[in-house]
Structures are given as structure tokens and as C-alpha cells.
Amino acid sequence: MDAPVIKTEKLSKRFGDFVAVNEISFEVAAGEIFGFLGANGAGKTTAMRMLCGLSIPTSGAASIAGFDVYKQTEKIKRNIGYMSQKFSLYEDLTVLENINFFGGIYGLTNSQLREKSEQLVTKLGLQKESKKLVGELPLGWKQKLAFSVAILHEPKIVFLDEPTGGVDPVTRRQFWDLIYDASDKGITIFVTTHYMDEAEYCNRVSMMVDGSIKVLDSPANLKKQFSANSMDEVFYELARGAKRSDN
């Protein structure tokens, strides 16, 4: 197996007396679809912010795409993609303007941008909408576009924070098709979700409870371990013992 693209060792973050993330250690391989699950307040967002180079850990070590989370945060940011349900694209820019804007920020040249934006628009079937304001698109389209923009610069890893929240069931599945495509191209997917059926689509999932990673395995093994019929049951079994609730 290739060197892991995400590697953490006893990574921790404290805010005063509060241990938001408590010594998490794990590795994610290139091209893997990794589900990062946990109850509200378990520490997922804080952990993710450290992995994205947005928050300096209190202790422990981690390297993202080969870069150190303490010293090389700018390099990390250039080598990852990020999208969340909340932070999306600029609603008052058109589809093409958004692509050009974000591509430009990530240092794509004009000719790369021309080529990439055409490919992207064709792939998503947005030819007719390319000059429309993003705000006018339905949510499902926005989320698919946001994901495609997040991987425009071909990052090694893309972090997805609840990318499918509130999206209709058909579009939600189309979104996962895009995830699989990206994974086939070798992009590592790091994804959080509240939909437990989506946990099944991950190669491996971890579950955080009260700042620690309680379990980490493939969905099939986790179900076996907890004698559960679904990931929903596994989640319930683990998370109901949580002392912390919420962010």
C-alpha cells in the first residue's frame, strides 16, 4: 500500500480545560473513502479543522498529503479541497465565474481553467446554466457544483463536511457517484454525514465519541463487531453512551 495521505498520532486539541479532541490516531490511504462520523459535539469539526491546517493542535502529530499540521499549513491548504453544506459557492456569481474564481485562487492557469471549466460543465450537464447565477440553481446542483469546484485543482484529499444535508434522495445518490469517480482518480475522500446509509458507502469509517475515536473499521466489520443489522444501530450503540452532546 502507498504511504498514507492522512496520518495522525495522538492528535489533540484543548480549549482551556476542555479536551475537544483527545489523542486521535489513524491513517487514511490514497483513494480511500473515509467516513468520519460522530454525534454532535464529539469533536469532528475541531479535528477536521486541524487536518485542514486551519487550527494548530495542542499536542500530537499529523501529516496531511505529506505536510506537517504545525509548520506547513499553507502547503496543506493548497493540496486539499474542502466543501461543506454551509460554505458553498458565491451565489451572486455565475457558474463559470465561480469556477474561474476558485480555480484562479488555487493557481490554475488561464488555459487550464478554460479546459477544466468546459469539462466540468459538460460532466455535470450544466451547459445551459453556465451563465446563470449560482443562487438560481437548485440546492442539489449547487452541491454537485461545489464538490466539482473543490476538486478542480486535483487535490490529494478532499474534505466534505455534511455535503448532502437537505438534498433530495435522487441527487444525494448522484452526489455519491461523483465521490466514487473522484476516488477512482486517486483522490482521497474524507467525509462526514448524518445519513447512516451513506456510512455504508465508505471503505472505512471512524466514530468519535467525546473527543476520542472509539472504533475504526469497514462498515461490514463494524456491523459484525456490534452484531448490528445496519450502521444506524452501530452508531446508536456507540453514541448513546456519549457524555458530551453538541458543539
Nearer to another protein, 40 or 119 (CB): 40
Amino acid, res. 162: E
Look up residue 164 and give its three cell numbers: 448532502
Q: Least distance to another protein from the beta carbon of 170, Å?
A: 5
- Under rule CB under 8 A, residue 1 binds another protein: no
Q: Establish if 219 lies at the interface with another protein (CB under 8 A).
A: yes
Q: Which helix (H) or strand (E) holds 35?
A: strand 33-38
Eight-state DSSP code of residue 42: S
Find the shortest distance in angstroms from Cβ 233 to another protein. 10
Pairwise CA distance, residues 38 & 104, whole Å: 35
Least spacing, CB of residue 72 vs another protein, in Å: 32
Q: How far is the CB of 59 from another protein (least distance, A)?
A: 25
- Residue 212 near another protein by CB under 8 A: no
What are residue 83's DSSP bridge partners?
A: 160
Considering only residues 80-139, where is the footprint of another protein by CB under 8 A? 85, 138-139
State the minimum distance, in angstroms, from the CB of residue 37 to another protein: 9
Using the contact rule CB under 8 A, the part of the chain among 10-18, 47-55, 68-76, 172-180 near another protein is 172-180
**Cα angle: 34, vertex 152, 53; to 5 degrees:** 55
User: What is the Cα–Cα distance from 63 to 22, expressed in whole angstroms?
Assistant: 17
Residue with cell 454532535: 40
Q: Figure out which of the listed residues 35, 41, 53, 155 binds another protein, where binding follows CB under 8 A.
A: 41
